[in-house]
Amino acid sequence: MRILITGGAGFIGSHAAQLLSEEGADLVILDNLVTGRRKDVRQGPFVEGNIDDVSLVRSILRQHGITSVLHLAASANVAESMLRPDAYFANNVVRTLRLIEAMLAEGVYRLVFASSCAIYGNAPSAHEGKSESPLSPYGESKLQTERALPWFERANGLRWAALRYFNVAGASNGLGEEASSSVRIIPRAVHTALGTDSPLQVYGADFPTADGSAVRDYVHVADVARANLEALRFVENCEAGEVINIGSGVGVSVLQIIRTVSEQSGRPVPYQVGPARPVDPACVVSDIAKAQRLLGWRPVESTLANIVASVIRSCETRTLF
């Protein structure tokens, strides 16, 4: 496979690139480095640029003989999207359409699109095609893009898969997030335990859950990388595009995370409870039967203990504070 990875310098993209390279794929990484990090690009030629630069993308596809695109580039902060919906629809919808325009112009018809569980809103058991109800512009932007893909399939023969990632976390092979700047709860909790005196902000303690804190489905980034690999194989020969959940299938509460980080780090995680935000559902947990059936994929590294341990190791070895 010859693959263009958009957003390949990012958290998920760098892990995906490493696995795909190990599997023998030829890669080109495209990233504008707004949130990605050049130092995490270890495979393939790197091009700094935007996905809506049609001339640039067409040139990359043509020069490198690209056969598939793994599209990970996106704005992905739910809270920020409530303040800047215009930016989220522009980046996540309009620019993705420009990327597809470039693909079709160069005869590249295979796309794996990084979608999101934010599409589901408040769905205790999130099943593809049954419970889409976004609570944020971010979730809506992903859903709008998903809805466009079958039309490109019908009109142009696009082969596609949209992977609805749940809460991606963890680290592996020397790659990981900057815990001090992450918006994700697990690296923030680790940072609070190991690197700062400021308390962790917990949004909401009166949700209808077992301990009152919000429940989410956390999936290890290494498992997500494998899902991307299997999805790229899937679109090689699929008869129709598919939307597929990628999660652990297990719900974990915010307070469970705090306890686990404290236990594994040997340090307390001071936290401060504030009001729940309108964008925060009480509980969202994936149904992953479709991923198992279509991709032959299941999570193998996505226990909470393993995710937390990997983040702590990453922070300690890479000095991420």
CB 115 within 8 Å of CB 164: yes
In angstroms, the CA 312 to CA 118 distance is 26
**Alpha helix positions (H), 30-163:** 54-63, 78-83, 85-89, 95-105, 137-156
Helix (H, G, I), strand (E, B) or coil at 184: coil
Residue 138 annotated to the active site: yes
Which entry of 120, 138, 165, 218 is annotated as an active-site residue? 138
Which one, of 98, 101, 96, 28, lies nearest residue 68 by Cα?
Answer: 28
**Alpha helix positions (H), the chain:** 11-22, 54-63, 78-83, 85-89, 95-105, 137-156, 185-195, 221-237, 254-265, 289-295, 304-318
Radius of gyration of the chain (CA): 19
For residue 134, the Cα-to-chain-centroid distance in whole angstroms is 16
Q: What residues act catalytically? A: 138
